[in-house]
Amino acid sequence: MKKLALHWQILLGMLAGVVFALILTNFSWGAEFVNDWIKPFGNIFINALKLIAVPLILASLIKGISDLKDISKLSKMGTRTIGIYIVTTVIAVSIGLVMVNVIKPGSNINQETREDLIASYEGDALNVQSAAQKQKDAGPLQALEDLVPGNIFAAASDNGNMLQVIFFAIFFGIGLILIPEEQSKPVKAFFDGFNEVILKLIDIIMLSAPFGVFALLAALVVESPSPDLFEALAMYALTVILGLAIMIGIYVLMVWIFTKNKPSFFINGISPAQLLAFSTSSSAATLPVTMERVEDHLGVHEEVTSFVLPIGATINMDGTSLYQAVAAVFIAQAFGIDLTIGAQLGIIATATLASIGSAAVPGAGMVMLVIVLAQAGIPEAGLALIFAIDRPLDMCRTTVNVTGDAAVSVMVAKSVNMMGPPNVKTWKKKSENSL
Ligand code: ASP
């Protein structure tokens, strides 16, 4: 029998969890049974995701930065690529923040459910309070001071210090680019391999995802039987999807302005890669198709695609960053935490960095969401709230991630004059003569 695709398995797991818990709530012992015997498996699943957050940043960021070694050779293209990548990511996070603040999907949860939720995560609520107190006592440059760890092992021992780990990874990656190749080669090979291992671990953890979501959803149903929580989840999903749709519109507009080609030129060219991204939830798995479509159907020279797209698949995740911003504020709203403007500006920085550090594989964006939550002082336990709906949203945000990479490569190619007619044979022949 053909194996069911993972996203269907997860959807079934979710459904089974809800049905199972609804049935059990009819018995007096039902809720206790779920809490004692089912919920711990959900917690184990969440812990496994959190467990790999630090190694994931180290591996994927050091690899991503050291892959930029061509930057001296292609410095013009390199600066443009990184510049446009960062600009589109900041635009995406900002759209996410505006959407979630306007729609307020988390505040639909009524007072009683919110109180129930806060009571079940009392420990986290206390942590938040003490973190908030610390922030109040801090000086104006505290955030900058906190960015640089005094000891990398101490920093890596606390998920709340993720920004410090990112700082170390970027610093390390830059050092790796600057040393002679014969010395950097073995270190880079190590991190390439390390990165592969981490990606494999995510694969393994994702195998248990159907059971994890079963447990999480069952616990959620017995703990907060109020239907408004599910309404809120639907509103949250809609907020993310609406934001992602706006982002696609922005890419089409940008490519239109840059190339003067009709929007259908970009959409038709890239749609097979978008569909693959939607069904695999992985920018990395989609990369070969993205490269083929951008080269052959959008007319971008392969020197641009081979530089811009692999880096983009690793560091440019606009869909992921938009989702992280919406998810963080949604969880804060659900817990009744008021985020100040300062905290929201902080989310722009952390979601941009967290999306850069996210691996191009299913579920990675949610792992890295831990950083955004921890840095903004939002309870990490809130991950349990949104996990149920994460896979379908992962499919949608990966589609945006891939579309963003393609759009940026078109813009970079146009700006360095390396774009030909959308017919690879003509363009390749022409460029072979001219280069
Ligand atoms: N699945 C996404 C990607 O591969 C990353 C994420 O989980 O947001 O692009």
pLDDT in tens, 126-184: 554 454 455 556 666 766 787 788 999 998 887 666 668 878 887 898 888 888 989 99
Which ligand 1 atom sits nearest the alpha carbon of residue 284? 4
Q: Which residue has the higher pLDDT, 215 or 404?
A: 404
Predicted pLDDT of residue 161: 67
Ligand 1 near 404 CB (within 6 A): no
Distances from the Cα of 204 to the Cαs of 6, 49, 54, 398, in angstroms? 12, 11, 17, 20
Measure the CA angle with vertex 184, ends 178 and 188; round to 5°.
115
d(CA 59, CA 194): 6
In the chain, what are the domains? 6-426 (1.10.3860)
> pLDDT, tens digit, for every residue of 355-394?
887 777 778 888 888 888 888 888 877 777 787 778 789 9
Tokens of 38: 């089912």
**291 Cβ inside 6 Å of ligand 1:** no
* Ligand 1 pocket check for 320: Cβ under 6 Å: yes
Residue 358 Cβ inside 6 Å of ligand 1? The answer reads: yes
User: Which residue among 279, 353, 358 is best mutated to probe the pocket of ligand 1, counting the most ligand atoms within 8 A of its Cβ?
Assistant: 358
pLDDT at 279 over 80: no
* Residue 413: exposure state from Cβ atoms within 10 A (0-12, 13-18, ≥19): buried
361 lines ligand 1 (CB under 6 A): yes
pLDDT single digits (tens) 25-34: 899 898 899 9
- Of the candidates 433, 418, 379, 434, the residue with the CA atom closest to the CA atom of residue 80: 418
Sign of CA dihedral 402, 405, 409, 410: positive
pLDDT at 424 over 70: no
Provide the percentage of residues in the chain whose pLDDT is more than 70.
83
| Pocket lining: 321 vs ligand 1, CB cutoff 6 Å | no
Ligand 1 atom closest to Cα of 320?
8
Give residue-wise pLDDT tens across range 315-356.
899 999 999 999 999 999 988 888 888 888 889 988 888 888
Which two tokens mark 274? Answer: 């978008």
Cβ atoms of 329 and 344 within 8 Å: the answer is yes
Give the chain's mean pLDDT.
81
Find out whether 330 and 100 touch, Cβ atoms under 8 Å.
Answer: yes
Ligand 1 nearest-atom number relative to CA 355: 8
Asked if residue 407 has pLDDT above 90, the reply is: yes
Rounded CA separation 240/237 (Å): 5
Helix residue spans in 106-262 (DSSP H): 111-120, 122-137, 142-147, 152-156, 162-178, 181-207, 209-223, 228-259
What CA–CA distance (Å, rounded) separates 111 from 335?
10
Separation between Cα atoms, residue 208 and residue 359, nearest integer Å: 19
What is the pLDDT at residue 129?
A: 44
| Residue where the block lists tokens 């970027």 | 170
Better pLDDT: 113 or 107: 107
Q: What is the pLDDT of residues 194-231, one digit of tens each?
A: 888 887 887 788 788 789 878 887 887 887 645 666 67
- The CA-based angle 419-297-93, given to 5 degrees, is 80
Q: Give backbone dihedrals phi and psi of 208, rounded to 5 degrees, phi first.
A: -90, 0
